[in-house]
């Protein structure tokens, strides 16, 4: 591998959702410029998915131990393994959870750029947090549940009880605000979104925060070239079953790498699916009493008696599912999702409408944006009930699934239209194509 090119060092956070879009961005950059080479510093020894995601030979991975403060390890890795093999270090591209690495860039005399794996509105929400803290000086409180927030990037007021639960936790709140406060120390923010999806958000952020660095929309970044990043024993069985189903007839239920439900809720989902009458592919993750994920459980033992027998041929239950490959399949007509940003972009890319079921983190904000502002999703739940174990009943699920699977709904038409716009954004003269090109020219400068 030739290492005489100008180098970028990517520092993603531990989450697989963050790593996937980070490596996709690295792939995209190397397709656009032969003058670049990229090193990715991975701080998760258990993650063997990285090389399968990289489609370009000029991406090198360096494994680092995960410790509370990685700055020393990161600087040492760059000095020992990157600088001797590069003509020039252009800068660091850091994840939102890695803003402490700005210090490493400063010590090495290079700029840092933020790669934001969420959408532009999500960026606006995070930028709002330090602003609010400067006014309030404390975390959010349950007593504020009835109030609403006016946040740059959102057209509608945001209910306080829609916020991520950790913002109500004193120990977790302040470190996170301090992370976000450093966004403005970067030389640019790269957002995994595109202008047609969030047309007014970037301009509203620039107006609201005059000290904000340049914002570049570079998405939608999806791992659609290397779909089989993970394999499971029933992967072929899943795809074979889909091949046998009519076009747009299957509702797909999948809730991300961390999404899981207790048995009472799983039973209600089963009842709802059966009552809806629609074909389904259901990725089941079971939560224990302490809300940890249980793998490899017997579905027959936890679902309503006779459910699997009654839905045989019409439904398919599994543990892990190849989400991108499933969404790309012509048999899939709807997606019941936790509304993680990667899942939203994937559903839009393939023109599959979402039924919202946010579970944690910023997913409720994503769901609100998709349903209330963009009209690109159907509402099942628009809150994650951070302090509640409320069960969504089967009748409600059945009704929502029927709406989701309507063939000629306005939402479905808008989703298909946005699919076309998202694909156009990445090709020559598209908004994201131009934005990426402008950033490449900026960082290369005279190198």
161 is catalytic: no
Q: How far apart, in whole angstroms, are the C-alpha atoms of residue 304 and residue 253? A: 17
Write the CB contacts of 178 (distance below 8 Å, at least 6 apart in sequence). Answer: none
Q: How far apart, in whole angstroms, are the C-alpha atoms of residue 214 and residue 17? A: 24
Alpha carbon of 128 to those of 19, 52, 132: distances in Å?
Answer: 25, 36, 6
Q: Which residues pair with 190 in a beta bridge?
A: 115, 216
**From the CB of residue 7, how many other CB atoms can be counted at a distance below 10 Å?**
23
The tokens for 188 are 């640019």
Q: How far apart, in whole angstroms, are the C-alpha atoms of residue 186 and residue 11? A: 14
| Catalytic one of 44, 95, 278, 329 | 95
48 is catalytic: no
46, burial (CB in 10 Å: exposed 0-12, middle 13-18, buried 19+):
exposed
Alpha carbon of 409 to those of 183, 343, 376, 406: distances in Å?
Answer: 40, 21, 11, 6
Q: How far apart, in whole angstroms, are the C-alpha atoms of residue 258 and residue 166? A: 16
Q: How far apart, in whole angstroms, are the C-alpha atoms of residue 128 and residue 140? A: 13
First-residue to last-residue Cα distance in the chain: 20
Q: How far apart, in whole angstroms, are the C-alpha atoms of residue 21 and residue 108? A: 26
| Catalytic one of 18, 278, 329, 338 | 18
Q: Which residues are catalytic?
A: 18, 95
């Amino acid at each position: 591998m030739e290492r005489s090119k100008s180098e970028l060092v990517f520092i993603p956070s531990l989450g697989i959702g963050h790593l996937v879009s980070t490596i996709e961005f690295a792939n995209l950059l190397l397709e656009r410029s032969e003058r670049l080479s990229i090193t990715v510093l991975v701080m998760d020894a258990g993650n063997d998915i990285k090389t399968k995601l990289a489609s370009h030979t000029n991406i090198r991975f360096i494994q680092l131990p995960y410790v509370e403060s990685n700055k020393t390890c990161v600087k040492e890795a760059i000095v020992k393994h990157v600088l001797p093999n590069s003509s020039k270090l252009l800068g660091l591209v850091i994840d939102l959870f890695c803003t402490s690495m700005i210090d490493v860039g400063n010590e090495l005399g290079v700029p840092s750029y933020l790669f934001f794996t969420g959408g532009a509105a999500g960026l606006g929400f995070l930028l709002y947090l330090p602003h609010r803290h400067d006014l309030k000086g404390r975390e959010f409180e349950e007593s504020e549940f009835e109030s609403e927030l006016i946040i740059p990037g959102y057209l509608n007021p945001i209910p306080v009880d829609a916020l991520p639960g950790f913002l109500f936790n004193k120990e977790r709140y302040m470190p996170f605000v301090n992370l976000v406060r450093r966004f403005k120390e970067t030389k640019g923010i790269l957002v995994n979104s595109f202008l047609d999806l969030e047309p007014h958000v970037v301009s509203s952020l620039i107006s609201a925060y005059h000290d904000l660095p340049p914002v570049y929309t570079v998405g939608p970044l999806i791992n659609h070239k290397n779909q089989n990043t993970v394999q499971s024993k029933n992967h072929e069985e899943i795809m074979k079953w889909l091949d046998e189903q009519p076009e747009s007839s299957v509702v797909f239920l999948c809730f991300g790498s961390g999404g899981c439900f207790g048995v009472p809720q799983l039973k209600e989902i089963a009842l709802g699916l059966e009552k809806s009458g629609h074909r389904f592919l259901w990725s089941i993750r079971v939560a224990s009493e302490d809300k940890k994920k249980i793998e490899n459980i017997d579905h027959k033992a936890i679902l309503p008696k006779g459910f699997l027998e009654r839905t045989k041929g019409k439904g398919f239950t599994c543990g892990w599912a190849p989400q991108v490959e499933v969404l790309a399949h012509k048999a899939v007509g709807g997606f019941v999702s936790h509304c993680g940003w990667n899942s939203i972009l994937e559903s839009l890319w393939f023109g599959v409408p979402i039924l919202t079921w946010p579970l944690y983190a910023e997913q409720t904000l994503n769901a609100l944006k998709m349903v209330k502002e963009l009209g690109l999703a159907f509402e099942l739940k628009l809150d994650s009930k951070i302090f509640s174990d409320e069960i969504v009943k089967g009748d409600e699920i059945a009704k929502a699934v029927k709406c989701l699977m309507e063939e000629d709904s306005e939402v479905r038409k808008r989703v298909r239209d946005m699919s076309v716009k998202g694909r156009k954004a990445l090709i020559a003269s598209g908004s994201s194509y131009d934005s990426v090109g402008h950033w490449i020219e900026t960082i290369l400068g005279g190198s």
